[in-house]
Amino acid sequence: MDGKEGQQKTQYRRVPTTVISTTYEEQKMSAGVATIRMVMWMAFKSLNILYIPIFIARKFKRSKICPPVKDEILLLPASELADKIRKQELSSEAVVKAYIARIQEVNPLINAVIEDRFKQAIEDAKYADKLISFGTLSAEELKEKHPLLGVPLTVKGSIEVAHMKITSGMLTRANITAKTDAVTVKYAREAGAIPILTSNIPELCMNWESGNKLKGTTKNPHNTTRTPGGSSGGEASLLASACSVIGIGSDVGGSLRLPAHFCGVWGHKPSPGVVSYIGHYPSCKNEEVWKAVFTLGPMARYATDLKLLLEVIVEPEMKDCLMLNEPVNLKDVRVFFMEDIESSLTTKVSDDCLEALHQVIDHFNTLCYNNCKKVKLPLMKHAPEIAALNLLDID
């Protein structure tokens, strides 16, 4: 580092930088496009200024955090819960009741639940325990046929769960009930998972926060003055507060990944087409466009459960394509990263995020034989506008 960089509070390790040039970079933007960009920049900066009093007021608002977890059942990954249930070391009924008790304790703080099915879930758990006690199938056979047997599952409120409301946060859909399960929920049930509730979302899943006029606003369990993100914010808040261990979310532009990031849990957006989106509301008239950008995916409190749930909800014909159980030779893995996109429509990346990024890069350099490279993509600064225009083009 040079002298100026060395004086900075946070210091980062130098890594090779690759500049990816493009002929488009050398072309001047037309006067019309430049004007639109300037107007958008001024609008966003004005919004930032207008929100300053709100942010200042929130500083004086008393924040709350969720009470600590007392039941050790709530600290086990779904994979361990399923294993203990199969071996009759834990009963599914005890697990489901533990989660119900936690939800009843915490939800008044975070407001993450749309509708629950606690009574039916307890009956489902009793049935799972009976199935195991019959001894017809061994623990290994149960693992093969019902890998999530007896494990509670939460589902984003825009995904159909039979006999539960599917409002998508809209007042006009307040009394609409799903007649059947979404395909992903159907697969999860077949694997033995027990849906216990649907979680809160923004209206039509069109916000990076999770609030609507039917159920109000969901809060971040780490600090109730903060947002859990959106649109799968209810799921992320439940997972982070130990009210859920696995869940199903949906994603176009970060809807299950951003809430996971905001709440410190895990969300994975599979490649579109791998997981069925049938049974999600809202949908799109242009099916070809929709299936190219939209998908449902797994969310989990523990990273180890992402693969387990993805294998359950993935379309059967796509399982072999994913090669989830194939070993990866890390020597062949190359990692490229950026520190900022330098867009006029985004805020500067914080030092905390940069520090975390470089911790990850250091870790990957150890695993991947120093195959990490910092890249500069000049046109990436246009990414927010391009993404917004693509979304607006969906009918």
d(CA 155, CA 169): 14
Percentages helix, strand, coil for the chain (3-state, rounded to 5) are 45, 15, 40
d(CA 314, CA 43): 42
Catalytic hit among 84, 97, 156, 219: 156
H/E element, 344: none
Which amino acid is residue 314, in one-letter code? V
Angle between the 92-110 and 78-86 helix axes, to the nearest 10 degrees?
150
- Cis preceding-peptide flag for 231 (omega within 30 of 0): yes
Catalytic hit among 79, 255, 269, 276: 255
Catalytic hit among 92, 231, 232, 241: 231
Residue 231 is among the residues annotated as catalytic for this protein: yes
Residue 255 is among the residues annotated as catalytic for this protein: yes
Close Cβ partners of 37 (under 8 Å, ≥ 6 residues apart): 29, 344, 385
CA angle 243–264–61, rounded 5-degree value: 80
d(CA 84, CA 74): 13
Distances (CA, A) of 164 to 120, 155, 167, 198, 348: 12, 11, 9, 8, 42
Q: 10 Å Cβ neighbour count for 177?
A: 14
Instruction: List helix spans (H) across 19-117.
Output: 31-59, 78-86, 92-110
d(CA 138, CA 144): 10
Positions marked catalytic: 156, 231, 255
